Amino acid sequence: MDYGALADLLDDLLKALEESVLAEEYRRAKALLRADAEARRLIEDFVAAKEQYETAARYGRYHPDYGRLRRDVYAKKVRMELHPTVARFRAAEEALDDLLHEIARLIAGSVSPAVKAPGRERFFFTAGEALAGAGGGCGGGGACSCR
């Protein structure tokens, strides 16, 4: 296959992704998130608490407010993630991300099972590992034989 034909197929794939239900839901959820003042405030509160915690975390338990800041950042994270608008955006973002990872795995696998493809947490797996369940089982050790 020549480069021109491959570029045309890529254009078709990009157009299909852009018009997909997942992409539309992502755009809709992102617009709702931008318009929701309470959700934006919760995000800003979490980011500020996280910055304070990261400063204290450099000193660990020796920082006088380390425990309080750690509890505060986790509480604000939970509050933020439980907000319906934030939760909808995160779900839409994750669904689209999963689709893009699956496409990358399929493309890599069509070349060779040894080709590396991006995994869920930015780790790289060969296409063969991704198709076989690269996580290594429920506990990571493979003892459950779910691989």
Q: What's the pLDDT at 111?
A: 86
pTM for this prediction? 0.73
Determine what percent of the chain is predicted with pLDDT higher than 90: 64
Q: What's the pLDDT at 147?
A: 42
- pLDDT tens digits, 24-50: 999 999 999 999 999 999 999 999 999
Distance CA 52, CA 49 (A): 5
Distance CA 115, CA 134 (A): 14
- pLDDT tens digits, 67-102: 999 999 999 999 999 999 999 999 999 999 999 999
